[in-house]
Amino acid sequence: MADIIIVGSLNADLVVRSPRFPQPGETISGEDLQIIPGGKGANQAVAAARQGVKTAMLGRVGSDSFGPFLVENLKANQVDTSHVIVDSSATGTAIIVVDSNGQNSIVLSPGANGNVSPADVDSASFSNSKLLLLQLEIPTPTVLHAAQQARANGLTVILNPAPAKSLPRELISVVDILIPNESELSLLTGLPVNDIGSAEHAAKEILKQGVKTVIVTLGSKGALLVTAHQTTQIDTYKVNVVDTTAAGDAFIGGFASAMLNGKSLEDSVRYGCACGALATTKFGAQPSLPTKEEVEKIIK
Ligand code: RIB
């Protein structure tokens, strides 16, 4: 079995590059439509696999043409897809506009991701794996069940609470490492998060709920690592931004692979920052995720 299991979403990203985002009620012209493999779960699986880690994906696609397109891309990246179920609904899609600054705006249509169930989780064995990666593009009861199963089998549970939503305390209490961005952390805690001090304060509130480590991703400002014993801001690398889509996923896959390879928490965050920065230099979700060689080069 794989060292890292990802229970999460697979999306076909329908992406248009546009000079700017349209206003409500406005129509503007963009470039040609591109269909790109995405979904936070699948992106994190590919991000970790490209660092040479044995990775398995558990999720669902529909019975349309997007399903095989997504599964084949995972296989091409050496991700084990034996727990990706094909059901009779539509494959999840994300409608994405990327503006001239590389920022994005995303609307999700969950499709088959909305059917990933606790029974799907039970069809896989966690006993020989080390780490579970979770996000919130599948139903929350399934995320909770997967986290509980992983805990029971001694895996480290990492939750990326994206897209932002409030979560049951039960779930937070079985998470080892929580990786939100600033707005997700604010929604989870009900506290304003707009600078390093407020991020540290909110992260400490989460620690009180049983999480051991909170890593707040801060975009071009890097990341803030908060545990009971330390608060450390880690800078990221300066790059030319083309498209920020999946930068957070690249960070998480890279961070998880570094942890698995025995790096310290701080060095793993630094490694994740390198992966996230590199992902912003290329267009699209999975095509932008860096290889191990690219990451080692920027770190040097
Ligand atoms: O994190 C980026 C991802 O969010 C995209 O690939 C899109 O599918 C949405 O899930």
For 50, which DSSP code? T
- Residue 46's Cβ-side half-sphere holds a number of Cα atoms within 13 Å equal to 29
- Closest residue (by CA) to atom 6 of ligand 1? 38
CA 145 to chain centre: 18
CA of 103 to the centre of ligand 1 (A): 13
- Maximum Cα–Cα distance across the chain: 52
| pTM, full prediction | 0.97
d(CA 139, CA 151): 19
Which residue among 11, 69, 93 has the greatest number of ligand 1 atoms within 8 angstroms of its CB, and so is best to mutate? 11
d(CA 203, CA 225): 9
Where are the chain's structural domains?
4-9+41-62+115-299
Of these residues, 13, 120, 176, 249, which one is catalytic? 249
Query: What fold characterizes domain 4-9+41-62+115-299?
Result: UDP-N-acetylmuramoyl-L-alanine:D-glutamate ligase (3.40.1190)
H helices, E strands: number in the chain: 10, 13
d(CA 263, CA 250): 17
Strand pairing partners for 7?
58, 134
Which residue among 40, 135, 280 has the greatest number of ligand 1 atoms within 8 angstroms of its CB, and so is best to mutate? 40
What does the pLDDT read at residue 218?
96
Nearest-atom number in ligand 1 for the CA of 247 is: 1
d(CA 79, CA 75): 5
What does the pLDDT read at residue 295?
98
What Å distances lie between residue 137 and 58, 61, 164, CA to CA? 13, 13, 10
**Helix segments in the chain, DSSP class H:** 40-49, 66-76, 118-122, 140-152, 169-172, 182-189, 196-207, 247-260, 265-279, 292-299
Per-position pLDDT tens, the chain of length 300: 799 999 999 999 999 999 999 999 999 999 999 999 999 999 999 999 999 999 999 999 999 999 999 999 999 999 999 999 999 999 999 999 999 999 999 999 999 999 999 999 999 999 999 999 999 999 999 999 999 999 999 999 999 999 999 999 999 999 999 999 999 999 999 999 999 999 999 999 999 999 999 999 999 999 999 999 999 999 999 999 999 999 999 999 999 999 999 999 999 999 999 999 999 999 999 999 999 999 999 998
d(CA 184, CA 273): 18
d(CA 79, CA 72): 10
Which residue among 95, 245, 288 has the greatest number of ligand 1 atoms within 8 angstroms of its CB, and so is best to mutate? 245
**Is ligand 1 within 6 A of the CB of residue 91?**
no
Tokens read off for 225: 């690592």
CA of 228 to the centre of ligand 1 (A): 31
Known active-site residue 249: yes
- Closest residue (by CA) to atom 1 of ligand 1? 246
CA of 230 to the centre of ligand 1 (A): 31
